[in-house]
Structure 1
Amino acid sequence: MFEKTIREICTMLDVKNDLSAFDSVIVKGVSIDTRKIESGNLFVPFKGENVDGHQFVRQAIENGASAALWDVNVPNPPEDIPVIVVEDPLLALQALANKYRHELDLKVIGITGSNGKTTTKDIVANLLSVKYRVHKTQGNYNNHIGLPLTILSLPQDSEVAVLEMGMSGFGEIELLSNISQPDAAIITNIGESHLQDLGSREGIAKAKLEIVKGLKPDGLFAYYGDEPLLQEGVKGIGIKNMETFGRSESNNIYPTKIEMNNQGSYFETSVAEGETFFLPVLGQHNIHNALAGILIARHFGLSVDEMKEGLRSLKLTQMRMEMVEGKKGESIINDAYNASPTSMKAAIGLVSELEGFRTKILVLGDMLELGDDEEEFHQEIGRLIDQEKVQQVFTFGRLGTFIAKGALENFPEERVHSFMDKESLAQELSSLIKGDELILFKASRGMKLEEIIEGLKG
């Protein structure tokens, strides 16, 4: 991890106070939470609407921090402890991350997209781990604070960092790209998430394309080539090394054969003819994510056999197409981490096509951050459900009622169940389960559908 003396930190930042008395103090790692301080940390305080982190600086030192940043506009910085006064602690944190990134002999892969960022991050990291010392974004550390913290936590012998980049508005991905200076970048797709902030899918595409702003001149840019908005958006951006992935044969890499079962997906590709890859994850959209990973792996010199090993041993972050077994023997797909119309359609399509189940049940909740047309987006999802391939539809939440409304255009009333509380939904669902069902749970993170799954698992 980041390890410097205060004297060295003062050469990296525009420091506003005299710290000569603390020159030799060693800082190891960075923390923004006094409850998680580790010995030697640099504590970074932020001024929030309700709480000012500066009031906890002394506590951070008492808890083991070696030093703390301090905003020059906050009066009375303590002089008896190592406090580094800077123009803005957040900007200082980002500057330290950028400088540390360049000190390491490190390749960075940046990943963004409306859906599939975390899955693609896991795939790319697992592929490259076959050959390199790889570290990746943990949890949701993918924003203007989390990404710098991720970089500063990297071991000094790291060879590859796989960084997820999230956003809610324009300029955010550009900032993250400029901080991390990626050697390769991926856009997984353009969906409907953040429509309320960006106004249109065109706006989302423009914001996601900011990832190339910090891309190294010889870096690889891989994007979902079946998306017209990306095809149009890359025109004139001046990136000389671009490759596409997707279903269409116009892409640089596409699947030539796909077979799926309960254990995962087998597929062949246009770039390794006759070679079968196994991905222990369900869904054609995840095969597309794997194709992006193969492009990156090939760029960094992995052989086909190394790629096969990296995909075969993949373990995804929880609640992303995670197959678990219920206490009655039912098969449960836990895809409850997040949802958008694009990912919802993909998950429903997967369930519709999987064979070997007497009954297929969908448990679908609200998709959030969709803007003014959110009700229509939900109703459209309901209309798309095929009553010949899905036997029961359960919805949860206010917007979920519009999924139910759409489903009722094709389904008999007794096969569509809409709920506003989880307990009633769980009771009704449990009464239907015999043990040979396939049940999909899918909703935005805020709906916490995994709470129902925990009850089914017993």
Structure 2
Amino acid sequence: MIKCTLGQLAKMINVENDVMEFQNIEIAGVSFDTRLIEPGNLFVALIGDANDGHKYVDIAFEKGAAAVLWQKDVPNPPKNKPVLQVEDTLRALQDLAHSYRKQNSAKVIAITGSNGKTTTKDIVAAVFSEDYKVHKTDGNFNNHIGLPLTILAMEETTEIAILEMGMSGKGEIALLTRIAEPDAAIITNIGEAHLQDLGSREAIADAKLEIVEGLPKNGLLIYPGNEPLLVKKVSSLKQFNTCTFGETSENDIYAIDITIEENGSNFIVPGLSDEPLFLPISGKHNIMNALAAILAAKEFLISPTSIRAGLKSVKLSNMRMEWHDGIKGTRILNDAYNASPTAMRAVISMVEKLADEREKIVVLGDMLELGEKEVEFHEQIGEELNPDKIKYVFTYGPLAKHIASGARLHFPDERIFEFNDKEKLINVLNEKVEGNELILFKASRGVKLEEVVNAMLVR
């Protein structure tokens, strides 16, 4: 984590008051939440829509904060305390992170995309950890506040920083990449998430490509070569190096001889190894994420042996492709952290193609932030479900009912169940499960479908 004196800190950002009296005070780490603050932290008083961190400055000092960033237009800063006044506390936090990143010798890999950002981050971290000291984004700390905090939490001895970059609108990735100045950037895919805000997949592609604004001229952009929107746009951007991954041999890296089972995926990468690589995550879409990680690893001269070992050791963040033992001998796949049409199709396809004799049940909730075509997207998911592979379709939520509507084109009514009440869903699911089925749970995070998952687990 960042460790410096207030005198040093005042040279890293624009501090508008005289801190000479406190210049030798040392800070270690940064926090904006008094519930999580640790002794020695710099407390940043952020102003949000619903709360103002300046109200908690006294508590921060009581809990051991070494100093505070205070926005100068807020009245009554504490007297005789190490308070650094700045024009804007959020901007100061971001500027501090950028300055610390510039001082640190770590190489930075930035990751964005409509789906698969966190999974790809976890895969990249596992592979790079074989040869380097790695720091990565924790949880979903991937926005204009979380990314600066992630950088400032980085140890000075870090060799590789893996930073996830999320967005909800235009300009957000540009801000994050300017703060992080990555040496390499990965775009996982272009899906439908954020259509509500951006309006089209082309606009989403433009927003994701903002990530290159922070790349140096010798930097590397890794992107899916089977995505026409990106291929067209990247071809006009020649100031950095590029590599592609995908399903076909036209890409710089691709996979063959793919086999997918519950405990993971085996695949061969031509030119890397004649022996299959093992990724302990199921699904072709996750193999694509692994290919992006392999390209990054090759750029940083990581050996095939280390790549193989790193892939084998991958562990995912919570509620992403989690397998559990369920009631009556069922197996439960909880992938309910987030959802978009692209992500939902990918995991349903994986479940349908699993070499497994279990009967399959899908429990699908609302996909949020899809804009004016949200009903159509849900209906399409239902229409694409295979009645020869799926035993029952359960939906939860006012949008997911359109998945049920689409499924009725191929499924008889007695195999489709719609709910807006989780208790009723749980009760009927309990009734219909006979034993030994595989149950997939998938929905956007706001649906909180994990509440249903937890009710179906073995206690």
TM range (shorter): over 0.9
Deviates more, 1:43-52 or 1:360-369: 43-52
Alpha-carbon distance, 1:41 to partner: 0.5
Q: What is the CA deviation profile of residues 185-209 of structure 1, one whole-angstrom value per residue up to 9, with x for unaligned ones?
A: 0000000000011110000000000
Name the structure 2 match of 1:168.
168
Name the structure 2 match of 1:254.
254
Contact kept? 2:246, 2:254, Cα under 8 Å: yes
Alpha-carbon distance, 1:54 to partner: 1.1
1:321-400 → structure 2 map (5 Å cutoff): 321-400=321-400
**Which structure 1 residue ranges, 4+ long, deviate > 6 Å from structure 2?**
none
Name the structure 1 match of 2:154.
154
Deviates more, 1:28-37 or 1:42-51: 42-51
Contact kept? 2:215, 2:240, Cα under 8 Å: no
Partners of 1:130 and 1:272 in 2: how far apart?
Answer: 17
Partners of 1:361 and 1:354 in 2: how far apart?
Answer: 13
Residue 98 of structure 1 aligns with an amino acid whose one-letter code is: H
Name the structure 2 match of 1:288.
288
Residue 278 in structure 1 maps to residue 257 in structure 2 = no
Residue 69 of structure 2 aligns with an amino acid whose one-letter code is: L
Deviates more, 1:277-286 or 1:73-82: 73-82
Contact kept? 1:357, 1:438, Cα under 8 Å: no
Partners of 1:349 and 1:180 in 2: how far apart?
Answer: 36
Name the structure 1 match of 2:76.
76
Partners of 2:116 and 2:358 in 1: how far apart?
Answer: 29
Partners of 2:272 and 2:18 in 1: how far apart?
Answer: 60
Alpha-carbon distance, 1:358 to partner: 3.5
Deviates more, 1:289-298 or 1:231-240: 231-240
Partners of 2:386 and 2:181 in 1: how far apart?
Answer: 45
Alpha-carbon distance, 1:449 to partner: 1.1
Residue 225 in structure 1 maps to residue 253 in structure 2 = no
Alpha-carbon distance, 1:366 to partner: 0.1
Contact kept? 1:41, 1:67, Cα under 8 Å: yes
Name the structure 2 match of 1:118.
118
Tell me, what secondary structure is at the counterpart of 1:274? coil
Partners of 1:85 and 1:122 in 2: how far apart?
Answer: 37
The gaps in structure 1 that reach 5 residues or longer are none
Contact kept? 1:45, 1:53, Cα under 8 Å: yes
Alpha-carbon distance, 1:294 to partner: 0.4
Residue 444 in structure 1 maps to residue 427 in structure 2 = no
1:33-72 → structure 2 map (5 Å cutoff): 33-72=33-72
Q: What is the CA deviation profile of residues 16-44 of structure 1, one whole-angstrom value per residue up to 9, with x for unaligned ones?
A: 11111111111110000111110011111
Partners of 2:147 and 2:28 in 1: how far apart?
Answer: 17
Partners of 1:307 and 1:422 in 2: how far apart?
Answer: 42
Alpha-carbon distance, 1:76 to partner: 2.5
Residue 452 of structure 2 aligns with an amino acid whose one-letter code is: I
Name the structure 2 match of 1:404.
404
Name the structure 2 match of 1:421.
421
Q: What is the CA deviation profile of residues 251-299 of structure 1, one whole-angstrom value per residue up to 9, with x for unaligned ones?
A: 1101121011121100001232412100000100000000000001111
**Number of residues of Structure 1 aligned to a counterpart in Structure 2:** 458
Q: What is the CA deviation profile of residues 335-385 of structure 1, one whole-angstrom value per residue up to 9, with x for unaligned ones?
A: 000000000111111111112233110000000000011011000100000
Name the structure 1 match of 2:434.
434
Partners of 2:447 and 2:128 in 1: how far apart?
Answer: 34
Name the structure 2 match of 1:9.
9
Tell me, what secondary structure is at the counterpart of 2:440? strand
Q: TM-score, normalised by structure 1?
A: 0.98
Residue 281 of structure 1 aligns with an amino acid whose one-letter code is: I
Partners of 2:213 and 2:67 in 1: how far apart?
Answer: 33
Contact kept? 2:45, 2:70, Cα under 8 Å: yes
Deviates more, 1:247-256 or 1:365-374: 247-256
Contact kept? 2:14, 2:86, Cα under 8 Å: yes
Partners of 1:456 and 1:201 in 2: how far apart?
Answer: 36
Alpha-carbon distance, 1:416 to partner: 0.5
Contact kept? 2:253, 2:270, Cα under 8 Å: yes
Residue 401 of structure 1 aligns with an amino acid whose one-letter code is: K
Contact kept? 1:357, 1:436, Cα under 8 Å: no
Contact kept? 1:111, 1:162, Cα under 8 Å: yes
Residue 367 of structure 2 aligns with an amino acid whose one-letter code is: M
CA RMSD of aligned residues (A): 1.0
Partners of 2:231 and 2:49 in 1: how far apart?
Answer: 41
Tell me, what secondary structure is at the counterpart of 2:376? helix
Alpha-carbon distance, 1:181 to partner: 0.5
Alpha-carbon distance, 1:59 to partner: 1.7
The gaps in structure 2 that reach 5 residues or longer are none
Deviates more, 1:236-245 or 1:393-402: 236-245
Q: TM-score, normalised by structure 2?
A: 0.98
Q: What is the CA deviation profile of residues 199-251 of structure 1, one whole-angstrom value per residue up to 9, with x for unaligned ones?
A: 10000000000001001221111001111100111122223310000102211
Contact kept? 2:260, 2:355, Cα under 8 Å: no
